[in-house]
Structure 1
Amino acid sequence: MKSYEVNFDGLVGPTHNYGGLSYGNVASQSNSQQSSNPREAALQGLAKMKALMEMGFTQGVLAPQERPDVAALRSLGFSGSDAQVIQQAAKDAMPLLVASCSASSMWVANAATVSPSADTADGRVHFTAANLNCKYHRSIEHPTTTRVLKAMFADQQHFAHHAALPAVAQFGDEGAANHTRFCHDYGQAGVEFFVFGRSAFDTRYPAPQKYPARQTLEASQAVARLHGLSEDGVVFAQQNPAVIDQGVFHNDVIAVGNGELLFYHEDAFLNTEHMLAELHDKLGRRGGRFRAICVPRAEVAVEDAVRSYLFNSQLLSRADGSMLLIVPEECRGNERVWQYLQRLIADDGPVAEVKVFDLKQSMQNGGGPACLRLRVALNETELAAVNPGVIMTAPLYDTLTQWVEKHYRDRMSETDLTDPGLLLECRAALDELTKILKLGSVYPFQIN
């Protein structure tokens, strides 16, 4: 039976703005308070989805969240009508209003951790929504994320959904941004690679000094247990605390993997040689041949990697066995990074081609190509059980493009977030979107 890795890209929400909410994310903080363009952001994301679909990759769509999150504001003491809640928050606690308007759910690499059926004890695809408890504006996402994922992957014969881990620092979980999977074939048992920034309980693991380590070892271990993964099918590795302090807030800012290949920066991990040996050994026992491409610091500094998002790229397997690397336009604009990429594809290695996409709106807010997608490996039977409304087609692309142009503003500033009319616009858009994607009632305003 044939298997596929499907990329489900996050559709950028109508309140896309540069709130500068993510401490430790250089791009997010450096562009804080600038005006954004939600319409352009959504169209840029859709263009990437359409391009990958036309290249022959199976591509899906993951819906955004209702924003501003009035229920979250009510839980913090604001009261009255929805409009009054927004007006009170704007007057008394503007940072909370900005947080409640964040469109950060667009970066669905943080939505969940996914384990394919070939790896799990019960032979189902497992999803655990990430609690994202390191940042308030993201910690409020997981209830809606869980409902949306259940609407997309509803057949309990094939799919299992777990609640987010306890929302405490000891179990900080950032989803697939710190998780990847190596395998010989997507339908065969593979090795799941969990990367953590710190341990909550074991002091032997060093922690960063400047920026927070968002993923804990304990969270990664808990997800592996929930998904029924065997000891022979997992590897836990620690991110280098020094690179976290340079703005590498997730592993997918400094490394990316796919199939049998890990593409990583020389400074990405601690105990790198031991980690590589473990990956090689465990993947070998599952019929794979692990390979690694290390980008030397002498050729690409960590600062260049962070600014260009070289590693926040999509590494995709093509039908001929070669790999395609999807990178943001910022890679072409960085001389050292672009020179390295030209050498990479000239070396006759596994990466045969690099394609560049303009994702400026997302990039300025701190997320590149890899942030925008959640990878789900599915066999033919499982793919047939996915809600067909979320699988990208040419007609769906046209419909979503028209939907964005109808509902999205072309400018969003902090002042615009204080407009109670924005909530009504967002709800009207999402109500229509759930019908387009055949999701049913997944948003609080549709349920309550």
Structure 2
Amino acid sequence: MLTEINFDGIIGPSHNYAGLSPGNLAATKNRGLVSHPRAAALQGIAKMRANIALGLRQGILLPHARPDHRWLDSLATQFAEAPPHLQAQALSASAMWAANAATVSPAPDASDGRCHLTIANLLTMPHRSHEWPETLAQLRLAFPGDGFAVHAPVPAPFGDEGAANHMRLTPAHDRPGVEIFVYGVSGGPYPARQHREASAAVARRHRLNPARTLFVQQSEAAIAAGAFHNDVVAVANERVLFAHEQAFADSQAFYDALRGTLPEVEIVEVPADRVSLEDAIASYLFNAQLVTLPDGGMALILPGEARETPSVWQWLQEMVAGNGPIRHLEVVDVRQSMANGGGPACLRLRVVADPATIDSRFLVDNARLDAIAQVVEAHWPDAIAQDEIADPALIARVETARRALLEMLEIVELTYS
């Protein structure tokens, strides 16, 4: 039976604040601070437990090998000899943000009846551009069989950042939907990371119905304010689109096209005069998981920062007190991820599929999360200061920690040194 499964990235043992992502205001603001990889990973595990408690299906994606020696080899250097900026880029744990792993189109949307996944190339940022080979290996392992088509990335120069710039609206997860690709053009001092050409290529690869596929431009104001991905200003689930008033370049044209394609759509738009773009981005109001609960209602899984931002929390309280489709708020603590610019939605990749067709090693329940937490407690560094990232002892611990996790999960196919 087709169901939605949230695959969360386990936050890796090299999680640190190197500030590598221009346009991601939190990441650049916190550059140089001491990170806490163990606490970060445990916060992510706690978020997964909260999802399970809500009755949601939960999966995992795994930390990548860090430092990425293969990438450094391609640059004709080794970690110990590399300049500091390459060391930081090789050590980045940013693959934890599974929303950037791939774009996913469920089988009901594809003309060949398969679930399609296209790995994101992430080529705009050097520290992320070398993630795709391991992501491809993981997803081909997790989604085997003829029911899935896992595609290699769209080639350069067309930047693609995956599900963070993709939304799907549908009467129900297991029914045909409307797929929405949000691309950027410019944004003041910051790069637009999603190219329209990349989105169009993904749609063709996934064999989507052109009549039920929309390409929408993100607003320049949103990018300039720090919305480096669409999921910082908009999120969709089944028939509900939840978005900021300034998320899109031409909201009215988009909404008209959407209503013409999916008449039952419900658009919940947050007015800019109630919640500014700045407050929305700082609180990650829209980088929330909008999910359907087993009883059919919808919940918004939010970071604690949303509750701590007065304009955001006041608006949310009024929303859930009304008669709208979103009636439950679930607040989670992902502060370590937030400090690096990723909220609850960044940490997960949504896949609609039959769980029986997925490699069971990538699916978790509370007992399996207990086992993962034990490995994290035993092996993840407590803290990483920026002047420590070249320390051979830290590198040895990071590599040992990941290997211990893969061995416990019995996914040793992904081990390499």
TM-score interval w.r.t. the shorter chain?
over 0.9
In the other structure, the counterpart of 1:406 is: 378
In the other structure, the counterpart of 1:143 is: 133
In the other structure, the counterpart of 1:161 is: 150
1:162-311 map, 5 Å = 162-168=151-157, 171-198=158-185, 207-284=186-263, 289-311=264-286
1:377-396 map, 5 Å = 377-378=352-353, 382-396=354-368
- The range that moved more, 386-395 or 107-116, is 386-395
CA RMSD of aligned residues (A): 1.2
- The range that moved more, 433-442 or 231-240, is 433-442
- The C-alpha deviation readout for 1:24-47, integer Å capped at 9, x for no partner, is 000000000000000000000000
Secondary structure class of the residue paired with 1:35: coil
Alpha-carbon shift at residue 273 of structure 1 (Å): 1.2
Alpha-carbon shift at residue 394 of structure 1 (Å): 1.7
Alpha-carbon shift at residue 14 of structure 1 (Å): 0.4
In the other structure, the counterpart of 1:432 is: 404
* C-alpha distance in structure 2 between counterparts of 1:340 and 1:403, whole Å: 40
- The range that moved more, 47-56 or 29-38, is 47-56
In the other structure, the counterpart of 2:351 is: 376
Amino acid across the alignment from 2:71: A
Checking the alignment, whether the CA contact within 8 Å between 1:49 and 1:59 is kept in structure 2 is yes
Checking the alignment, whether the CA contact within 8 Å between 1:115 and 1:227 is kept in structure 2 is yes
In the other structure, the counterpart of 1:116 is: 106
- The C-alpha deviation readout for 1:300-351, integer Å capped at 9, x for no partner, is 0000001100000000111232210010000111111111111110112101
Amino acid across the alignment from 1:383: P
Secondary structure class of the residue paired with 1:29: helix
- The C-alpha deviation readout for 1:259-290, integer Å capped at 9, x for no partner, is 00000000010121111111122124xxxx11
* C-alpha distance in structure 1 between counterparts of 2:70 and 2:387, whole Å: 21
Amino acid across the alignment from 1:197: G
* C-alpha distance in structure 2 between counterparts of 1:132 and 1:296, whole Å: 31
Secondary structure class of the residue paired with 2:268: strand
Alpha-carbon shift at residue 138 of structure 1 (Å): 0.3
Secondary structure class of the residue paired with 2:385: coil
Checking the alignment, whether the CA contact within 8 Å between 1:253 and 1:311 is kept in structure 2 is yes
- What TM-score does the superposition give when structure 1 sets the normalisation length? 0.91
- The range that moved more, 51-60 or 134-143, is 51-60
In the other structure, the counterpart of 2:80 is: 87
* C-alpha distance in structure 2 between counterparts of 1:384 and 1:38, whole Å: 32
What is the percent sequence identity of the aligned residues? 45
* C-alpha distance in structure 2 between counterparts of 1:112 and 1:224, whole Å: 13
* C-alpha distance in structure 1 between counterparts of 2:266 and 2:301, whole Å: 19
In the other structure, the counterpart of 2:3 is: 4
Secondary structure class of the residue paired with 1:418: coil
Alpha-carbon shift at residue 20 of structure 1 (Å): 0.3
Alpha-carbon shift at residue 383 of structure 1 (Å): 1.5
- The C-alpha deviation readout for 1:361-380, integer Å capped at 9, x for no partner, is 000000000000000011xx
* C-alpha distance in structure 2 between counterparts of 1:443 and 1:75, whole Å: 19
- What TM-score does the superposition give when structure 2 sets the normalisation length? 0.98
Secondary structure class of the residue paired with 1:292: strand
* C-alpha distance in structure 1 between counterparts of 2:10 and 2:297, whole Å: 28
Alpha-carbon shift at residue 116 of structure 1 (Å): 0.3
Amino acid across the alignment from 1:282: T
Amino acid across the alignment from 2:261: K
- The range that moved more, 209-218 or 29-38, is 209-218
* C-alpha distance in structure 1 between counterparts of 2:74 and 2:383, whole Å: 29
Secondary structure class of the residue paired with 2:414: coil
- The C-alpha deviation readout for 1:232-271, integer Å capped at 9, x for no partner, is 2211100001210111100000001000000000001012
Candidates 356, 364, 370, aligned match of 2:339: 364
* C-alpha distance in structure 2 between counterparts of 1:106 and 1:27, whole Å: 16
Secondary structure class of the residue paired with 1:356: strand
* C-alpha distance in structure 1 between counterparts of 2:408 and 2:200, whole Å: 37
Alpha-carbon shift at residue 75 of structure 1 (Å): 1.8
Alpha-carbon shift at residue 215 of structure 1 (Å): 0.3
Alpha-carbon shift at residue 64 of structure 1 (Å): 1.0
* C-alpha distance in structure 1 between counterparts of 2:72 and 2:407, whole Å: 27
In the other structure, the counterpart of 1:338 is: 313
Amino acid across the alignment from 1:231: P
- The C-alpha deviation readout for 1:146-187, integer Å capped at 9, x for no partner, is 0011111112x111111011132xx10000000011111111
Q: Which runs of 5+ in 2 are unaligned?
A: none
Amino acid across the alignment from 2:375: W
Amino acid across the alignment from 1:88: E
Verify: 1:107 aligned to 2:97, yes or no.
yes
Checking the alignment, whether the CA contact within 8 Å between 1:86 and 1:420 is kept in structure 2 is no
Amino acid across the alignment from 1:365: N
Secondary structure class of the residue paired with 1:263: strand
Secondary structure class of the residue paired with 2:345: coil
Verify: 1:58 aligned to 2:54, yes or no.
no
Checking the alignment, whether the CA contact within 8 Å between 2:297 and 2:327 is kept in structure 1 is yes
* C-alpha distance in structure 2 between counterparts of 1:385 and 1:106, whole Å: 24
Secondary structure class of the residue paired with 2:11: coil
* C-alpha distance in structure 1 between counterparts of 2:232 and 2:416, whole Å: 32
Aligned residues: 417
Secondary structure class of the residue paired with 1:441: helix
